Amino acid sequence: VGVRLLWGIIGSRPARFSAFPPNPFRALGYLKEMRRGDKTVHLSHNPLGALMVYNIWATLLVIAATGFMMGTARFFGVDWVAQTHDLAYDWLLISITAHVLGVVFDTWRSGVPLVQAMIHGRKRIPNDRPVE
């Protein structure tokens, strides 16, 4: 988690958080474009993937905060803290599953091998795909 956080700040341009700010309106527009058959390839995360990334980071923050709280004298044994922690963990599992399915779907849709791009940092984009 720490390495990815650092990489999101100082890493390659497409990996930086600044390359894919969360924008629900762009994500909705992206969904509409996909339904119309648009196959634009994004050099960084697509708008929907960006929302998912920030969702996962926020969920990890909730898990870390409530986990820390459960270890303190003030919040040890407090039901809402433990319940929030458990719920955030369950949400993280759902989010990770959705994220992986999204990667599989976008690889199929765009023709870009995204897992390979995540490993070596370069996207192999088919010549017939527009790039954003």
Q: How far is CA 26 from CA 1, 22, 23, 36, in A?
A: 26, 8, 5, 15
Q: What pLDDT score does 128 carry?
A: 67
- The residues, ordered by sequence, that sit 6+ positions from 35 with a Cβ below 8 Å of its Cβ are none
Tokens encoding 110: 């765009």
Six-digit token pair at 86? 């458990």
Q: How much is the pTM?
A: 0.84
Per-residue confidence (pLDDT) for residue 7, from 0 to 100: 86
Going residue by residue through the chain (132 aa), what tens digit of pLDDT does each one get?
Answer: 888 889 889 988 888 899 899 999 999 999 999 999 888 888 889 999 999 999 999 999 999 999 999 999 999 999 999 999 999 999 999 999 999 999 999 999 888 888 887 777 777 777 666 676
Per the listing, tokens 């497409």 go with 14
- Say what the pLDDT of residue 130 is: 65
